[in-house]
Every structure is written in C-alpha cells, then in structure tokens.
Structure 1
C-alpha cells in the first residue's frame, strides 16, 4: 500500500530549512524521512519546517519519525514546525497530543514568517 515518498528541500537559509514531503509515511518510508530530515539538521539547519501538503497517509511509524526528528532538532537547539498538515493527519496530531509540541501553520511561508518573528538569530 506504500506510495513512493517524495522529499524535496525547498529552502535553506541560516539555521532554517524547509522540506516538502509527499506520499505515504509508513513503516517502509518513515526511515527515509527521518534520515533526510536529520541530514538537513546536521548540515546546520536545526530549525526545520516539514511541508506536509502532499502526504496522503501517515501511520504510527510516521508519527514516531516526526517525534524522532523533533527530538534531534531540539537537541541541536532547533525546532520542528509542520506546515500544510492534511486534515486527517491534523486530527491525529491533536488526538495524540503531538500538536502541542509541534506547531503547525497553513503554509510553509506562514511557518517561515512565524519562525523569523519568534526565533532570534544566534550571536
């Protein structure tokens, strides 16, 4: 039932990066999402925005990947923000309480603007 997972880095600037995710996030594709996100964080972009516009399905493996990505971002003095979360996934994030630790915005642009107004650049 797995669609290919599409991952595209759409923005990198300073400590902020945005990654567009498409397809299904499941037991087969979650490791690739986690690896790509952690690679972006390791490249000096600890504040990561995941644009989930194209996500068609997310199971518990996907949720675990999101939690792992968030933990790594926080360990690197960063954050994980979600953008354009599909309705079904948004409801699951609310039900599991993950929406309280992973802020979400209607678009990547809105998430970037929020980041720029709330996160000071390191000195």
Structure 2
C-alpha cells in the first residue's frame, strides 16, 4: 500500500534574520499537509516569523492544504510575522483565488518578489499591524 503522492518535501532556507523560504515539493493534501504545517511552524519557532512558501513544485492542493495555509497565516501573524506564497502554478492560482484565500494571503510571481515586498513592508511599518 504505497502511495507515491503521499510524499511532500520541504526545504527551509533562512534568507534573513526573521525570514525563511519554505520550498514545497509535491502534493499538499490530507496526508502531507501536517508535514508542511510542522516544518513551517518549526521555522517560525526558530525565529523566522516571516515565511514565504515557494509553491513552484506543488502539483496539487486540496481543502486540507488550503486550510493549512490559513493555519500558518494565523501562526505567523501571532508570532509578529507574515505568510506569503510565491510561484503558485497557474492551475492552483484559480483554486486559491476562488476560495478567497488570495485576499488573505499575498501571492507573488516569484520568491524574489515576495522577499522584496516583505522587505518593503518591514521598512515601512517596522512593527507590523496591531490587532
């Protein structure tokens, strides 16, 4: 009973003092979403509350994957950070847009764009929005 799609790889690259890029490879679904959540929350716990998810290598995201993005967004905000998604494949953009998540989560064409926007945002407000 081996499911090839049950694999998800994440590579975490710290790009700044408080920023990490999480490169996600594979499907984000019921089986793999907990892996992504755990890895991302570990990065936040290690002092990188600003996360950029590089989705270029993601084949599929189901509702569990989408709700995981929301969980991570709240977790990063609580840590004084933010969550951005970058390089979302065209076939996933529509789903993310349809569900309304794109209004909550900034989507960027590239990781570099996301990091630039993050840097600009940091410089602009310093502390981030208060709730």
Tell me the alpha carbon deviations over residues 42-92 of structure 1, each in whole angstroms, 9 at most, x when there is no partner: 111111000000000010110111111111001111110000001121111
Q: CA deviation at 1:116?
A: 0.8
Tell me the alpha carbon deviations over residues 6-44 of structure 1, each in whole angstroms, 9 at most, x when there is no partner: 100123321111110010011100000000000001111
1:45 counterpart (45, 48, 57): 48
Considering only CA atoms, is the larger Rg found in Structure 1 or Structure 2?
A: 2
CA RMSD of aligned residues (A): 1.3
The answer to whether the 8 Å contact 2:6/2:31 transfers is: no
Scaled by the length of structure 1, the TM-score of the pair is 0.93
Scaled by the length of structure 2, the TM-score of the pair is 0.88
Equivalent position SS for 2:30: coil
The answer to whether the 8 Å contact 1:12/1:45 transfers is: no
Partner of 1:78: 81
Q: Give distance in 2, aligned partners of 1:88 and 1:68.
A: 22
Pairing 1:6-45 to 2, within 5 Å after superposition: 6-45=9-48
Q: CA deviation at 1:3?
A: 4.4
Q: CA deviation at 1:108?
A: 0.7
Count of residue correspondences: 122
After superposing on structure 2, the runs of 4+ consecutive aligned residues of structure 1 that deviate more than 4 Å are none
